[in-house]
Amino acid sequence: MDPRDKKLADLLVNYSCALKSGESILIEYEGSECKPLIKEIIRDVYAAGGKPFVNISDSEITREIVWGCTEDQVRFMNDYMLAQMQGMDAYISVRGGANVSELSDVPAEKMSLYSRLRRPALDYRVDKTKWCVLRYPNPSMAQLANTSQEAFADFYYDVCTLDYAKMSKAMDPLVDLMERTDRVNIKGPGTDLEFSIKGIPAVKCAGDANIPDGEVYTAPVRESMNGYITYNTVSQEQGFTFENIHFEIEKGRIVHAASNNTDRINQLLDTDEGARYFGEFAFGVNPYVLHPMKDTLFDEKICGSFHLTPGACYEDAPNGNKSAVHWDLVMIQRPEYGGGEIWLDDVLIRKDGLFVLPELDGLNPENLK
């Protein structure tokens, strides 16, 4: 067992989930390498006076299930998953599967069906429980990061156990600014977008939902967005790796979508009406996460990035958009990725990935490490 798992388990149970005596928590994991951490989490849950429950998942088995699934079958899956979740106060998911592309050859229409009909259980977990989701440093993750497993583990524990209380305090001025903002303008290579965030709360994420963490999010006013965007990071969604994603948006709706598989991306966006509108806009600020590794939990926190998300909004930053899809797509604006600017109400607040307003300087990487 890596001794750093003790520190990570304590962070997850006592900070991220803030588990209290008598509360029930569902712990889900995939991958045998996660077991030492899972055992530490269970011990810490008992030490806090909580009641742990465990589910084990396996993407190889999920692939077989989804390939032949029917609508009534998936509806029943959602029913029992929702019933289980309704008995929980908190949730931790540790993902350590051997192959992040295990679902890549499942027909898109089957993946859409599976995602859409299981959405109520997921929504309950996100909106009604204290939750945290993280990956585990296994060989698959090291390969995605193009590093040795030892180097990736060192990076992983640095990024997952940084001083989130310090980060949380540094986020307060950005939250205040976003909640006073009407118009957002984003410029960069292949990108020129305008939209409103007026009246929609800004929410800071500093270790209490995902690990690693480091974002401040809100949502666009649903039909306010116009322009185009070309994302410069790849994205693993429903087991498939999308590249060169380009959207053209009119009155909030994606009217044209292209990628390395244009048919597949349009099938995904046609899951339901809300999938072609946006449910989240967020700044990524984690100083240790610098490059994409095809894992959303890391990539959406990349320092100097933002993500703009087709699909459902969050309950605490609502814009009325509902969908089975919530797809965090990331654009990095540091100079080595082409640079870019973000303006709030005609004031430049971030250029080439660095905040330029004095009150936001605490979120720049040298001040968060």
* Residue 185: Cβ within 10 Å count: 16
Count of structural domains, the chain: 2
128 exposure class (CB count in 10 Å sphere: 0-12, 13-18, 19+)? middle
193 and 51 within one domain: no
Q: Among residues 135, 160, 185, which one ends one of the domains?
A: 160
Query: What is the domain extent for residue 204?
Result: 164-368
178 and 145 within one domain: no
Q: Among residues 144, 160, 176, which one ends one of the domains?
A: 160
- For 276-314, the pLDDT digits (tens) are 999 999 999 999 999 998 888 889 999 999 999 999 999
332 and 184 within one domain: yes
- Position 200 scores a pLDDT of 98
Residues 327, 308: contact at Cβ < 8 Å? no
Q: Is 287 left (phi over 0), alpha (psi -120 to 50) or beta?
A: alpha
- Position 161 scores a pLDDT of 79
Residues 314, 280: contact at Cβ < 8 Å? yes
Here the tokens at position 192 are 């020129």
**Residue 313 DSSP class:** P
225 and 132 within one domain: no
CA distance 58 to 75: 20
Residues paired with residue 308 on neighbouring β-strands, in sequence order = 281, 329
Its pTM stands at: 0.79
Here the tokens at position 287 are 């100083």
- For 73-93, the pLDDT digits (tens) are 999 999 999 999 999 999 999
Q: Among residues 111, 145, 160, which one ends one of the domains?
A: 160
- For 111-133, the pLDDT digits (tens) are 989 999 999 999 999 989 999 98
Residue 144 neighbours by CB under 8 Å, 6+ apart: 100, 293, 294, 295
203 and 132 within one domain: no
Output the domain CATH number for residue 75.
Answer: 3.40.1830.10
CA distance 126 to 113: 20
